Chain A
């Protein structure tokens, strides 16, 4: 496996880019996300979030469970804009 290995498939972020972000000072999944766009795609980190978390842990000498995951926000899965009805549908 080389450093061109894709970790975040949605945003096509490679292992090397994530290692660079950690070297640049990222100590959390959000820190990697802000520097590389990993976890910012269609799946919102559902696929690569854990991988990024373990990479941060390994590089910074932490236990993976101690590395904060990315902040979760709604919606849990993509929702069409037309679905949001506004006050009339209450």
Chain B
């Protein structure tokens, strides 16, 4: 018998499990394949304010980024967090400048330092950036982390506090008694608990369906590339302005290919020296192969903003699924029609940055029935 069963051994599930374990709960993580085998191992590690939707999502990011500062120490493992890396969004024209300026004004309401700077200033911060840009958005406190290391660190810290992890175990149904979720049925048998957390990321909609819940979380593919390790080239994380335009104002994009591929640029250099280049968003169900169309678009945009990269080699392309929701907000909280069943999924591209705060708030909710920050905007019940 467990207090809580967390479904999904990704970055969110492991964070939730660690926080619950810290509060003295007996936790079981049930994972279909392996720890960090889904999106956490198939993404970059951008932890910034400026790519977050203004309002509650950004407020969560502010609290989460505060938590990142002490994670190495608390988890007892280096998660390669670079706090003051900064985040830059090069802007290509006045239209983008106006859109990002307006968004930044909204974002500043959450008390964050996000500002518009000239092309010259941007190139002073990142000397390898192409000076042929209109300007840039800059967020000095943006950071980056190694998402794989962070997920593994959450899982190990949870295990140390007594959590159990069952990998290669698929959830096939639920034990529901008198209208309450009381356990999970898996490929390795039945397990009971007082609370069940669905932290299955891009697969969370499918898992919810097994409990008869129709929740609109669907997979959105992001394709990425990793390069050979090179010397220090880039400190900040860089997303071109199109990244935010596609994310928040897709209706303004006229080029149908850009819209279909969601092709912008997101680039960062890892501690190991390799650059991670990404920035596509496609709805192709769970088809995860790389396509030449997306790969070419990404590589061209990388050279557009960082011309010297043309001579750097890609060693691998890869892809991951982001859990999309219709309103861009994740689903956090208890499902009213099925007490005992909690959602912690649907962060799309913000899951890495929001993992620490998500774990904390969900654990608080399960243990005390209330949260230190109001998450009613994220309630799964808005879709039921």
- The residues of A with any CB-CB pair to B shorter than 8 Å are 11, 24-28, 30-31, 34-35, 37, 41-42, 44, 73-75, 78-82, 84-87
Question: Does B374 count as interface, using CB distance less than 8 angstroms?
Answer: no
With a cutoff of 8 Å between Cβ atoms, the chain A residues found around residue B34 in the complex are 25-28, 30-31, 34
Please name all residues of chain A whose beta carbon is closer than 8 Å to the beta carbon of B297 when the two chains form the complex.
Answer: 86
Q: Is the interface of B mostly helix, strand, loop or mixed?
A: mixed
Residue B148 interfacial (CB < 8 Å): yes
Contact with A along B1-41 (1 / 0, CB 8 A): 00000000000000000000000000000000011110001
* A80/B300 contact (C-beta < 8 A), A30-B34, A75-B317 known: no
B window 224-276: CB within 8 A of A: 227-229, 272
Interfacial chain B residues near A81, Cβ < 8 Å: 227, 299, 302-303, 309-314
CA–CA, A84 and B296, complex, Å: 5
Q: B interface vs A, CB < 8 Å?
A: 34-37, 41, 148, 152, 156, 165, 167-168, 227-229, 272, 290, 295-297, 299-300, 302-303, 309-318
* Residues A80 and B313 in contact, CB atoms below 8 Å apart: yes
Set of chain A residues within 8 Å of B152, measured between Cβ atoms: 24, 34-35
- Do B314 and A34 touch across chains, with their CB atoms under 8 A apart? no
Contacts of A44 in B (CB 8 A): 315-316
With A25-B34, A25-B167, A27-B168 as known contacts, state yes or no: A80 contacts B312, CB within 8 Å: yes
Find chain B residues with CB under 8 A from A84 CB: 295-296, 299-300
A contact residues around B295 at 8 Å (CB): 74, 84
Q: Closest Cβ of chain B: how far from A52's Cβ, in Å?
A: 14
Q: CA–CA, A11 to B310, complex, Å?
A: 24
Report B11 CB to chain A, min CB distance, Å: 12
- List residues of chain B with CB within 8 A of the CB of A73: 290, 316-318
Query: Known: A73-B318, A74-B317, A87-B296. Contact between A82 and B35, CB under 8 A?
Result: no
- Contact check, A34 vs B316: say whether CB atoms are below 8 A apart: no
Residues of A within 8 A of B302 (CB): 81
A80 and B37 form a contact (CB under 8 A) = no
- 10 new A-B contacts, CB < 8 A, other than A27-B168, A34-B41, are A11-B272, A30-B37, A31-B35, A35-B152, A73-B317, A73-B318, A75-B315, A75-B317, A78-B315, A84-B296
With contact pairs A25-B35, A34-B37 given, residues A86 and B300 touching in the complex (Cβ less than 8 Å)? yes
* 27 A–B contacts from the bound complex (CB under 8 Å): A24-B152, A25-B34, A27-B167, A27-B168, A28-B34, A30-B37, A34-B41, A44-B316, A73-B318, A75-B316, A78-B228, A78-B313, A78-B315, A80-B310, A80-B312, A80-B313, A81-B227, A81-B299, A81-B302, A81-B311, A81-B313, A81-B314, A82-B310, A84-B299, A85-B300, A86-B296, A86-B300
